[in-house]
Amino acid sequence: MGIVDLSNFLSEVGRVVIVMSGKGGVGKSIIASSLAIGLALKGRSVAILDADIHGPSVPWIMGVENGYMTVDSDGFINPIEIENIAVISIELLLTNKDVPLIWRGPLKTRAILEILSRTRVGKRDYLIIDMPPGTGDEPLTIVQHLKNKIMGAVLVTVPGELVKHVVTKAEIFLKELGVPLLGIVVNMSYFKCPTCNTIHRLFGATSIMNENIIAEIPIDPLLAQMVSSGKLIDYLKGSSSTAKSLLRIADSVANMEAQK
Ligand code: ADP
């Protein structure tokens, strides 16, 4: 695949943070969106790119799925803006959002990078990328195109026996690409019974003791409900302990700003 020229786009963006996972369904899109919202609530200007175009994705979580990115006569694309966050997603160019994009990986990645190269993002402190799951060709291509601007990666995982394996694999992937690991988020870490306050570790213990763990997020039915109705922003503005844990991810990243 030829190289897409992202220099124009990237000259507007201060730092890129990629959010990755070993596999799908671990809450990566929620964590990426929470990081974007958390940084915006701290006064940073933020854009979020949905590079994982399967399943309920960033536009839904951010509650902008009914909007459209407009295309100007010069071919440049305007992202959708919500709470000072620019949302960039192929979904926001589609007129029928129920039709799945049946594209092979390289074409999909190419389309995402093309869109990025033509997006009028404006000056942003951060670009957060909700990456395709895994450590395959698609995340690799995206990282190669953005490399100079990547501050680091946040790795999302769930507890259980395979965690150690997933984390090691991602660490090797990042090391080979020269991308720092900013932190690991263990999602769906436990469930706290609302009546008796007992903590249930449904997926087992975290099985890794890793100094890179920056947040442990419980299973929270209200979070799932708010996300499916596009209200993550409202949820994070609330006072629940889970909301606070999710916002701590942005605190950790902001505290590492000096790194790059
Ligand atoms: P991924 O991006 O890794 O595929 P998503 O962010 O789309 O995963 O989340 C997958 C599903 O799991 C969503 O339906 C979401 O609401 C649910 N989910 C994720 N994290 C939590 C959590 N901490 N508590 C409750 N539900 C969650």
219 neighbors 153 (Cβ within 8 angstroms): no
Counting ligand 1 atoms within 8 A of each CB, the residue from 37, 227, 235 with the most, and so the one to mutate, is 227
Q: How far does the centroid of ligand 1 lie from the alpha carbon of residue 25, in Å?
A: 6
Q: How far does the centroid of ligand 1 lie from the alpha carbon of residue 224, in Å?
A: 7
For ligand 1, atom 27, name the residue with the nearest CA: 224
Q: Which of 128-142, 206-220, 237-251 has the lowest mean pLDDT?
A: 206-220
| Ligand 1 atom at shortest distance from the alpha carbon of 31 | 6
For ligand 1, atom 22, name the residue with the nearest CA: 219
Q: What is the mean pLDDT of residues 52-66?
A: 85
231 neighbors 80 (Cβ within 8 angstroms): no
- Write the CB contacts of 59 (distance below 8 Å, at least 6 apart in sequence): 50, 65, 67, 80, 87, 89, 91, 92
Give the burial string for 4-31 (b: 16+ CB within 10 Å, else e): bebeebbeebbbbbbbbbbeeebbbbbb
Query: Kindly report the CA angle at 91 between 85 and 94, in degrees rounded to 5?
Result: 125
Q: How far does the centroid of ligand 1 lie from the alpha carbon of residue 257, in Å?
A: 27
For ligand 1, atom 4, name the residue with the nearest CA: 25
Which residues approach ligand 1 with their CB closer than 6 A? 21, 24-30, 52, 55-56, 187-188, 217, 219-220, 223-224, 227
| Ligand 1 atom at shortest distance from the alpha carbon of 57 | 7
Q: Is 192 helix (H, G, I), strand (E, B) or coil?
A: strand
Q: What local confidence, expressed as pLDDT, does residue 102 receive?
A: 61
For 110-124, the DSSP string reads HHHHHHHHTB---SE
Cα–Cα distance, 11 to 97 (Å, whole number): 31
Q: What local confidence, expressed as pLDDT, does residue 56 receive?
A: 57
| Ligand 1 atom at shortest distance from the alpha carbon of 133 | 3
115 neighbors 93 (Cβ within 8 angstroms): yes
From the DSSP assignment, how many helices (H) and strands (E) are in the chain?
Answer: 9, 12
In this prediction, residue 199 has a pLDDT band, given cuts at 50, 70 and 90, of confident
Q: What local confidence, expressed as pLDDT, does residue 210 receive?
A: 73
Percent with pLDDT over 70 in the chain = 89
Model confidence, pTM: 0.93
Q: Which of 3-17, 196-210, 216-230, 241-255 has the lowest mean pLDDT?
A: 196-210
